[in-house]
């Protein structure tokens, strides 16, 4: 079973990555500032091309399957960033997101994740969406909170050889259904 793409929002389209995304994708995936809080590591253009090729299939909703989908603007279909999603056990889907610098601070991450959440919650097997971030990544914390996600845990960790506090946020299907019913 797979997630139906594309997903359109007011200004964005969530779609499969494409070979034409390579230049922009590779540019932000080697940026050390963007990589600081991300689980991915910088990659060469060849590695980025191979990664995009691997992501050109629709994302499955199989437990343990990570998939990256493109965040592109609707007007010109230009890549702005990507969202990673991984189905976990018990109906949870973990998400992570990256936006290139020039796309930050405009509400794109919130808009993209809100569109993805609506699509995920249409699937009966998805009961909650999970986001984890380093507490120092204040921009990501704000995005998760704007989505209505609730902080459910915090723990000390070592990430990229650096001590940090990881925050886990969750958005339950029931909370989104209550908000829309009002």
Tokens of 47: 């590695």
Mean pLDDT per block of 10 residues along the chain (182 residues) reads 89 97 94 84 91 91 89 96 94 95 96 96 94 94 96 92 92 71 46
Specify the pLDDT at position 60.
82
Specify the pLDDT at position 25.
96
Give the helix ranges, DSSP H, for the chain. 22-29, 32-35, 45-54, 108-121, 138-146, 173-181
Specify the pLDDT at position 180.
46
Asked if 2 and 61 touch (Cβ cutoff 8 Å), the reply is: yes
Tokens of 118: 């609506």
Residue 58 DSSP class: P
Q: What is the 3-state composition of the chain as percent helix, strand, coil, each rounded to the nearest 5? A: 35, 35, 35
d(CA 77, CA 53): 18
- Phi, psi of 64, rounded to the nearest 5 degrees: 90, -5
DSSP letter string, 78-108:
-EEEEEEEEE-STTEEEEEEEE-GGGTTSSH
Specify the pLDDT at position 182.
45
Instruction: Output Rg (C-alpha) for the chain, integer angstroms.
Output: 16
Asked if 125 and 61 touch (Cβ cutoff 8 Å), the reply is: yes
Specify the pLDDT at position 1.
57
């Amino acid at each position: 079973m797979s997630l139906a793409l594309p997903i359109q929002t007011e200004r964005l389209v969530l779609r499969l990555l494409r070979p034409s995304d390579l230049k922009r994708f590779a540019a932000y995936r080697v940026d050390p500032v963007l990589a600081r809080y991300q689980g991915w590591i910088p990659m060469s253009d060849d590695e980025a091309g191979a990664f995009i090729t691997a992501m050109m299939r629709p994302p499955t909703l199989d437990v343990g399957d990570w998939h990256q989908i493109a965040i592109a603007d609707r007007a010109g279909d230009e890549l702005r960033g990507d969202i990673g999603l991984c189905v976990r056990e018990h109906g949870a889907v973990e998400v992570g997101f990256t936006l290139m610098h020039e796309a930050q601070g405009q509400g794109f991450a919130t808009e993209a994740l809100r569109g993805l959440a609506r699509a995920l919650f249409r699937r009966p097997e998805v009961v909650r969406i999970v986001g984890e971030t380093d507490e120092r990544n204040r921009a990501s914390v704000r995005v998760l909170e704007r989505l209505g996600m609730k902080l459910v845990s915090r723990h000390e960790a070592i990430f990229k050889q650096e001590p940090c506090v990881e925050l886990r946020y969750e958005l339950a299907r029931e909370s989104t259904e209550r908000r829309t019913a009002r």
